[in-house]
A = this chain, B = another copy of it.
Amino acid sequence: MSMIDESVSAPARVAEPGEGISVDELRLAARNHGMPLEALRYDVTPVGLHYLLTHYDIPALDPATWRLSVDGSVSRPLTIGLDDLHAREQVTQRVTLECAGNGRARLDPRPVSQPWLDEAVGTASWTGVRLADLLTEAGVSAGAVDVAFTGADRGVERGEEQTYRRGLPLGEALLPDVLLAYAMNGQPLPPQHGAPVRLVVPGWYGMAHVKWLMGVTVLDTPFDGYQNVTSYRLKQEPDDPGEPVTRILPKALIQPPGIPDFQSRTRIVDRGTVELTGRAWSGWAPVVAVEVSVNGGNSWHQASLGPQPDAYAWRAWTWTWDARSPGRYSLRARARDDAGNGQPVEAAWNRQGMANNHAQRVDVVVR
């Protein structure tokens, strides 16, 4: 490990004031990708348009030899192949996933990591088996508190070599909507989304949905791995332990109207009636309201909500804009959920740039 010094794997840092995006951050942005915002038109995001964040490399697993172990504080450890999973009761759910770092590159100062703007989101139809069924079959011990999920992807992060591993409280892991998914939008999982099997934890930010799943380990002490204890924390100072990132805060996104400029992505809209539309979601409770502003947040208008599909899938919204006067407009949208969570108009800062649900801004020129 002595070769892995700070020149290879530097500590987390925050950009200097005015510091442009570095080549390191750009390399991450070129590998990973957001959902182009026009894809907000789809109820279910087509494969290849869904956002994607890979911590290390996408592994190549052979579905024929892949085995999942379910072990730890259980009375009957299991080893399960893909055929075994296919033979079990199948569940399909539409779920919106969002990266916990979405919006990070909007923060000032900017936490240096994957530099997301607004696009790290997508909604897929996931098919698989209930994790609770497997845990019940394995027989969870009485003192169990957490479940750790281990992927096949290995790398170094902030100096710590690791296989991607996340813990989930047992109560969350036993919820009936948590899936071991082997299909996405009716097709076998593509490699980049965790083939052959991934975890899907509806309502949680993306880091919980462990891809390339190899192991499920029931723990009778709290999970203390890097991805829960060091990363994915809401903190202000480096030494602040911070609160864990868990469920997705409410957010609305606007499908940008009109046509774009290539470089600035400013939208050009012909004056007249513009049907603004978009999606909104929350991992805490159903979205109950979306408001739209065309003047940067000075005044707000109530949007109409479409039906709520499965509990943790985004909900369509529409609002008719009477864009009669040429000029520049700053469109914003904000959602509120049934648990009383809303969206701040401006970003609240935290050191890792996590769980930012400030209101998106779309610059429009009406002509």
In angstroms, how far is the closest chain B Cβ from the Cβ of A34? 4
A154 to B262, CA, bound (A): 10
Q: Are A31 and B31 in contact (CB under 8 A)?
A: no
Per-residue 0/1 for A32-72: is the Cβ within 8 Å of any B Cβ (1 yes, 0 no)?
A: 11101111010000111110101111101000000000000
A327 to B357, CA, bound (A): 43
* Residue A339 is within 8 A (CB to CB) of chain B in the complex: no
Contact residues in B for A26 (Cβ distance below 8 Å) = 21, 25-26, 29, 105, 115, 117
Considering the complex, give the chain B residue whose CB is closest to the CB of A55: B262
Residues of A256-271 at the interface with B, using a CB-CB cut-off of 8 Å, are 256, 259-266, 268
Q: Are B268 and A4 in contact (CB under 8 A)?
A: yes
Residue among B19, B39, B154, B265 making CB contact with A259, cutoff 8 Å: B154
Considering the complex, give the chain B residue whose CB is closest to the CB of A112: B263
Per-residue 0/1 for A119-154: is the Cβ within 8 Å of any B Cβ (1 yes, 0 no)?
A: 110000000000000000000000000000000001
What count of chain A residues pass the 8 Å CB interface test? 72
- A3-B365 contact, Cβ under 8 Å, with A28-B263, A31-B119: yes
A260 to B162, CA, bound (A): 11
Q: How many copies does the complex hold?
A: 2
Q: Are A190 and B21 in contact (CB under 8 A)?
A: no
Q: Are A190 and B46 in contact (CB under 8 A)?
A: yes
Contact residues in B for A23 (Cβ distance below 8 Å) = 21, 105, 117
- A21-B25 contact, Cβ under 8 Å, with A157-B262, A261-B9, A268-B8: yes
Interface of A is mostly: loop
Considering the complex, give the chain B residue whose CB is closest to the CB of A106: B23
Q: Are B31 and A34 in contact (CB under 8 A)?
A: yes
Considering the complex, give the chain B residue whose CB is closest to the CB of A22: B20
Q: Are B49 and A47 in contact (CB under 8 A)?
A: no
Q: Are B155 and A261 in contact (CB under 8 A)?
A: yes
* Residue A299 is within 8 A (CB to CB) of chain B in the complex: no
A50 to B190, CA, bound (A): 12
Q: Are B155 and A117 in contact (CB under 8 A)?
A: no
A117 to B24, CA, bound (A): 11
Contact residues in B for A87 (Cβ distance below 8 Å) = none
Considering the complex, give the chain B residue whose CB is closest to the CB of A54: B36
Contact residues in B for A21 (Cβ distance below 8 Å) = 20-23, 25-26
In angstroms, how far is the closest chain B Cβ from the Cβ of A230? 12
Q: Are A48 and B264 in contact (CB under 8 A)?
A: no
Identify the A interface with B (CB < 8 A): 1-4, 8-10, 19-34, 36-39, 41, 46-50, 52, 54-58, 60, 105, 112-113, 115-117, 119-120, 154-158, 161, 190-193, 256, 259-266, 268, 326, 365-367
| 20 further contact pairs, Cβ within 8 A, besides A3-B367, A161-B268 | A4-B261, A4-B367, A8-B365, A9-B264, A10-B264, A20-B21, A21-B26, A26-B29, A27-B265, A30-B119, A31-B265, A32-B33, A33-B52, A36-B54, A36-B57, A36-B58, A38-B58, A55-B262, A57-B256, A158-B262
